[in-house]
A and B are shown apart, each in its own frame.
Chain A
Amino acid sequence: MIPASADHSVATKRGLAIGFPLFLLALVALAVTLFDPLARFGTGLPPDEGLAIERGTTEPNGIEVWVRGDGRDDVSIAQVQVDGAYWNFKQTPDGPLGRFEGALIEIPYPWVAGDAHHLTFVTSTGTTFGYSIDVARDTTPFSLGALFDLALLGLFVGVVPIALGLATIPILRRMGTEGMVFAMALTVGLLAFLLVDTLAEGLELAAEAAGAYQTDVIVWVVAALTFAALMALSRIGGRKGGTGGIALATWMALGIGLHNFGEGLSIGTALILGNAALGSLLIVGFTVHNLTEGIAIAAPVTRKTPGLWMFVGWTALAGLPAVAGAWIGAFAFLPHWGAIFFGIAAGAILQVMVEVIRFILALGRESTDSLSGGTAFAGFGTGVLAMYATAFLVQV
């Protein structure tokens, strides 16, 4: 039997063990508050003004620009220069912009179609923030007709090539295990290129977004979270060997769909900002580019016989987001949302890559051919090169 006093002393020791670090922490907090070591560094700092210029469009009555406060301190837009001349402007809502506060600047400037226009926002302290409209053209106004046109473009870019890619399944079926390894490795190659491309797009948009959002970090975080979430979701069934066949094709369609949403954003934004030449190039490029994505979805199901409706579903899942992307890109696009979206797409693509690699490893186990490694490498290389080659068509 343990004496009561001993029991008590153990409890006291435990209490001390927990209490002491807390006591020390409180002491440190008190010391920091009292001595304020940061005070010396905070004095005499000039105002930290920031202004993110998120979107500029040329409208019938002039130029419209969406801006956002992006610094530690408020920023007041005192004057606006267009092409090196002070110009009338109206800010809605007016007044200083706090961090993250947005405003619309309307400038009744007689812009010239086909020309570039340079804007300079001069703040109350004389700090300047620049923005360029590369090619001025009538911004397509929001209308049902415009929505319809954009939807057609989205279908052409997203749905058609995916369907065409899926139609390659009879060819894929004639291949043996080695052929499958090659096809799947090719898919990994395509996805690897897509992953890098998606992250790059996301980070590029992050650079345009308000710095205070730290969108560049968010792109990575969102990608990682999406990847982890999708991995967890795909394991709900408890399969140890990972996904394969129809499930893998579906995950792949989802990942590619998210990516295509991003492509839709690019096309919609380019078109709405009057850059028709860029828009049409993007359309042709993405269409060719996306053919390979259809092949990627088809690869895991070459040995299955999914119903026709499954193919329809995958086509819709992978292709239709391009339509939604085009709409949003055209009429409601802000760079930080775009960046976050590309982050999600990157996470989804990475998840699909992991699944496909597991699938290849499983195929490799059933293959007796020692050349599988070489085949896989050849497939991967071909995939990356194919994407790189078609990406030439979408150079901005």
Chain B
Amino acid sequence: MTTVGNVDHVRNGFDPHEILNDWDLGTVTTDANGRRVREYEITAVDIEIEIAPGIFFPAWAYNGRVPGPTIRAVEGEWLRIHFTNAGSHTHSIHFHGIHAASMDGIAGAGLVGPGESFTYEMPAEPFGCHLYHCHATPLKRHVHKGLYGAFIVDPDPARHPEHTDVARARLLGTPENDTWQEFVMVMNGFDTNFDDENEIYAANTVAHEYMKRPIQVDRDRPIRIYLVNITEFDPINSFHLHGNFFDYYDHGTTLTPTLRTVDTIMQCQAQRGILEMSFANHEPGRYMFHAHQSEFAELGWMSVFEVT
């Protein structure tokens, strides 16, 4: 059973189906040293979003959406993220990646008051599937209100001669990458009544959205999922796929799987990874995937692939 009714995505200003693969590639320039520089604009705002039919949540959001924009870059590039805080509280962006202490997004290193701005600069390293989130205190509140997003760094094939093909398949824009169906799924939850427990669980915010409107997939193309867990209040979340097994790359920082042929993985808060699977040998139909905590599934984190 699922939630009753439908969410008004137009009113929300974002649709979980669009979030699946609307990468924010920023704007690319080359600096004096010939280094590629990628620049992004992110603004924190207070916004009310519908997280399940008829349930409105007073969120804090990057660029008006939860999760925030999926920042995607290429290993070795220089990143410049221009952050403006248009919200009512102090916010920041803390990137899970390699960067200087002064770019940490904590007190004294890029904490931004309402109406103020800051530019975070760092290399796009290491390659993998990462996340960013607000690191203002109280931390729990700033995180579960919605200030987080996925941060993907594609490997540079030139730097991985032993796995060039794998790296090229990960690198957005290559013909090899084009054969893949890529989705980002940020597992999150919402505490609507302030009891430090979530009333809603989801992948990409809206409860049961991919259950009611299945994700369409082509059985002849493999699937790659960038999975991020930012669920607050529960120590772990998980991903379980029906009728199939997948390879898993913990944190996405390797080009060979860290787990092979599994159908369930679990992630602690802020843990993430890349899942790769194929339905090539399967009959067409609906294949469910969900958190294998039944509670989370029945409170919204339950979805299906419609394989055709």
Chain A residues near B (Cβ < 8 Å): 76, 78-81, 84-89, 120, 122-128
Contact = CB atoms under 8 A, between A and B. Distances in A.
Interface in B1-55: 1-5, 52-55
Contacts of B220: none
Contacts of A120: 199
Nearest to A80: B4
Nearest to A78: B54
B250 to A, nearest CB: 30
Q: Which of B57, B190, B193, B295 has the most CB of A within 10 A?
A: B193
B177 interface: no
Q: Which of A84, A85, A126, A128 has the most CB of B within 10 A?
A: A126
Nearest to A127: B193
A368 B157 CA distance: 116
14 contacts: A76-B54, A79-B55, A80-B4, A84-B298, A85-B1, A86-B1, A122-B52, A122-B192, A124-B55, A125-B55, A126-B190, A126-B192, A127-B193, A128-B199
Contact of B52 (A78, A87, A89): A78
A89 B53 CA distance: 13
Given A86-B1, A86-B300, A126-B199, A79 B54 contact: yes
A124 to B, nearest CB: 5
Question: Main SS of chain B's interface residues?
Answer: loop
B207 interface: yes
A76 B53 CA distance: 11
Contacts of A87: 1
Contact of B56 (A86, A88, A126): A126
B57 A78 contact: no
A84 B199 CA distance: 9
B208 interface: yes
A95 to B, nearest CB: 11
Nearest to A90: B4
Contacts of A125: 55-56, 192
A85 B199 CA distance: 10
A86 B208 contact: yes
A79 B56 contact: no
Interface of B: 1-5, 52-57, 190, 192-193, 195, 199, 207-208, 295, 298-300
Given A126-B193, A127-B192, A86 B3 contact: yes
Contact of A86 (B192, B193, B195, B299): B299
Contacts of A86: 1-4, 52, 207-208, 298-300
* 4 residue pairs, one from A and one from B, having the closest CB atoms: A126-B192, A78-B54, A85-B298, A86-B3
Contacts of B1: 85-88
A51 B57 CA distance: 19
B52 A79 contact: yes
B200 to A, nearest CB: 8
A126 B300 CA distance: 14
B88 to A, nearest CB: 12
Contact of A126 (B4, B57, B295, B299): B57
A120 B299 CA distance: 12
Nearest to A91: B4
Contact of B199 (A76, A122, A124): A122
A93 B190 CA distance: 29
Nearest to A108: B1
Nearest to A89: B4
Contacts of A128: 192-193, 195, 199
B53 A79 contact: yes
A87 B52 CA distance: 12
B3 A79 contact: yes
Given A78-B55, A85-B299, 13 more contacts: A76-B54, A78-B5, A80-B4, A85-B295, A86-B3, A86-B4, A86-B298, A87-B1, A122-B52, A126-B56, A126-B193, A127-B193, A128-B195
Contacts of A85: 1, 295, 298-299
Q: Which of A78, A79, A123 has the most CB of B within 10 A?
A: A79
Contacts of B2: 86
Nearest to A129: B193
Contacts of B299: 81, 84-86
B159 to A, nearest CB: 46
Contacts of A80: 4
Contacts of A81: 199, 299
A122 B193 CA distance: 9
Nearest to A81: B299
A126 B197 CA distance: 12
A128 B191 CA distance: 11
A124 B295 CA distance: 21
B192 A88 contact: no
Contacts of A89: 4
Contacts of A78: 5, 52-55
A204 to B, nearest CB: 25
Nearest to B52: A79
A383 B192 CA distance: 53
Nearest to B295: A84
A128 B299 CA distance: 14
A126 B3 contact: no
Nearest to A87: B1
